[in-house]
Structure 1
């Protein structure tokens, strides 16, 4: 998002049966009794893994059957993150203690923060590496993984505001190395700039596409900077993860794909993407629309990047509340958020996502920039926060996840856990419901996110809406469901 500030499951355990051998006894008699062999105790019954894949015939439904071994296991856990603004904490109202507690409450395990060039070097100490004190304080209160944006130009250095000249890009690469040195030790991720195509030059009409040499926002100026900064970081921290891209409002990903075609990601570890649709038509302000555009980018990365695929990091996504024409209702945000979070966590090519943002940056309901938070400006939870936290807990509990769409509107995610198997499902079509029928006879529980757990219905069916529903079947070896959009 364009910054408006400068520098800145109930666990149902399978019953264990047990067999006890009966003791034999004899009465005392005057003759020596014949030897009576002691009975052999029956072995304790061992719980058997439930095969819940037997499904009734259901016209119009899609059968989904899986075992744990069918699902791909991620090489590294999906990153659940959120944006913070400690680099201009006073302006945005970011308090380290309050934010750290909200991270714990919401299952946020990573944060994204600006490291402004001239803030890292106060008083024009161009060789300095000074982190903002609110950020330092926050780092002492959280174990969340940092993602740092190496951001903005430096007017003190010729050709570095913006850094498009060779001298400016050389200086930016040196700043990137100092920033990495100043933030070492936390397995940080580094992102080269934030929405270059929108804000490297301000107060101009929105640029569509890759641009040209007459506009510094063009991809041809960003690509060499990203490549040079990535190389510089790898020289001092070879294992550091570096992301390039992070475009704002990039229709059909033209700017991002041209950046890749120009070699910006030759040494990079991932492509950063921002996904917003709050100013689209009302019908398109959905998680489904955002996921469709993200999938489009994924299909094009390798082709643009010399045949080399890279994971996607969704470093900004979300929907603003408020009264602005681009605002989205609290109820819609509350279903969009878990849909997007759970769906992307089930895509092996998405490394993680950072919600924009942790808390509202202001209190003006007409100002879009003030209203993106999971919490309001005073740290009170908004409608989407509970579903975000619950979805994050589902992701943390999962050993593997895989997504399947049904009828172009019903989303079903297959899940393996340490207890057994699960399904997470929702309708991705506003105003329409879906139906799930669970196979077999094994016990299971079900719950809608942020609601209490319930036992299975006698007919083993449930109706689902836009808020995701979790079906949890411990000790299952196979699980099958019939799914359909109603």
Structure 2
């Protein structure tokens, strides 16, 4: 990449480097989608790989078709409980999607009167069998997919399903957070959430779930920076409608690494992962983001659906995105975002995070590689220390020495499209 000349970034006031008083908050959810809850193969080795990446929630589906293999014949798939207990033991909060019809209902959605009673029986059975370990339940998956999200009947049918389903989940699993929507990008743009709100969905659930993919958008809109602008606008639209902040859970989000239309290289996928997770923390309405998904679903290089994962299909070899997840997850998950200190420019992003006395700066550029001169009004000594997510396996690296004069410390640091996580030590 081309380098621009040294660019000096000065901060106008010392308070930008001083952490604000810590406030109690729930850890941000750094989640991942898995596709093996219904498998016969032991899930624990794959769940361990997720936990090793710093992930604190796994999302999967105890399928209705797996629970009721024939009309009135119910069973618990052994994988359900081993997946659930494995996740809990690894400190990953499980999310279960209550979804998908059965062959004897011709795979019809439970909006039809001949199907809904069976679906509600499934919900009751599954939530009783899974017990207290499930942290999140999501009602159905992408109801709007393949339909016209502007159709009032579509949202009304789904709202009615949520109205009938949520009380069953609440009764059987009172500790769980209940989510509705799993609204696709198409549905988000088509007003699906707004119609669900009009139909009263927020009276029955704890938040909305979204699948805000942008990898097929044009230009900047397909980048993490364009994506977060859209998310801010969307969140504000919902806030204005409801009169309060609507909790948003991004239960699927990612960029694929296939060859062809809407594709990216594995390296770009990795860079986008780091930037997207840090940017998600800048929007308070977003409570968590589940990367779709843990493992690639195939090996066809031109098949988009085969290449969303952090690990390669079959071999489970880590892709570049897996190493980036390991590097960013601890900060994204456990640190507090300092909005007052942070700056998001046209090309340079400087986001500050605190955890007790620890303070870090997540920095990158969306344009050319460039050198930024960091200026600190608080004392710094020795070499600047940072983790470069372009090479996370190297761990913490050292760069040039801080140079201090007349109470000001500066250090030049090269930035590019991969996040650098820079240690600023104690907040003083």
TM-score (norm 1): 0.75
On the 8 A contact 2:62/2:126 being kept in 1, the answer is yes
**Which of 61-70 and 354-363 deviates more?**
61-70
User: Is 1:454 the equivalent of 2:398?
Assistant: yes
2:259 & 2:247 partners in 1: Cα distance?
36
- The reply on whether 1:168 has 2:105 as its aligned counterpart is no
Alpha-carbon contact 1:432-1:465 (below 8 Å) kept:
yes
Distance apart, 1:267 and its partner CA = 1.9
Tell me by how many angstroms 1:421 deviates: 2.1
For 2:420, the equivalent position in structure 1 comes to 469
Q: Equivalents in 2 of 1:114, 1:191: separation in Å?
A: 9
CA deviation after TM superposition for structure 1 residue 369, in Å:
0.9
Asked whether the equivalents of residues 86 and 113 of structure 1 are also in contact (C-alpha less than 8 Å), the reply is: yes
Partner of 1:86: 36
**SS where residue 247 of structure 1 aligns?**
strand
Per the TM alignment, residue 298 of structure 1 is displaced from its structure 2 partner at its CA by 1.2
Preserved contact between residue 72 and residue 402 of structure 1 (Cα < 8 Å)? no
Q: Which structure 1 segments of 5+ residues have no match?
A: 1-57, 199-205, 478-486
Determine if the alignment matches structure 1 residue 145 to structure 2 residue 93: yes
- Residue from 379, 382, 387 that aligns with 1:441: 379
Residues 230 and 314 from structure 1, CA distance in 2 versus in 1: closer, same or farther, beyond 3 angstroms? same
Q: CA deviation at 1:238?
A: 2.9
| The one of 345, 350, 361 aligned to 1:423 | 361
> Given the superposition, is the C-alpha separation of residues 361 and 297 from structure 1 closer, same or farther in structure 2, using an over 3 Å criterion?
same
> Does residue 69 of structure 2 align to residue 118 of structure 1?
no
| Alignment length (residue pairs) | 400
Distance 1:290 1:475 in 2: 32
Matched residues in 2 for 1:232 and 1:464: separation?
51
Gaps of 5+ in 2: 1-6, 404-409
Decide whether aligned partners of structure 1 residues 66 and 283 sit closer, same or farther in structure 2, where only a CA change above 3 A counts: closer
1:353 equivalenced with 2:297 (yes/no): no
Alignment of 1:187-206 (within 5 A): 187-198=134-145, 206=146
Deviations 1:46-88 (A, max 9, x none): xxxxxxxxxxxx9874546346652663531111110101145
Distance apart, 1:333 and its partner CA? 1.0
Summarize the Cα distance change of 1:60–1:106 in structure 2 as closer, same or farther, 3 Å threshold.
closer
Q: Deviation at 1:441?
A: 2.7
Q: How far apart are residue 415 of structure 1 and its match?
A: 1.4
Which one has the bigger helix percentage?
2
* Structure having the higher Rg: 1
Higher RCO structure, 1 or 2 (CA under 8 Å, sep 6+): 1
Structure 1 window deviating more from structure 2 (385-394 vs 448-457): it is 448-457
Deviations 1:22-47 (A, max 9, x none): xxxxxxxxxxxxxxxxxxxxxxxxxx
Distance verdict in 2 for CA 1:296–1:72, change over 3 Å: farther
2:343 maps to which of 384, 405, 418: 405
Contact 1:86 1:135 in 2 (8 A): no
- State whether structure 2 residue 320 is matched by structure 1 residue 383: yes
2:247 and 2:286 in contact (8 A); partners too: yes
CA-atom RMSD in angstroms: 2.7
- TM-superposed CA distance for 1:308, in Å, is 4.5
Picking from 171, 182, 194, the partner of 1:235 is 171
**Contact 1:261–1:304 (CA under 8 A) maintained in structure 2:** no
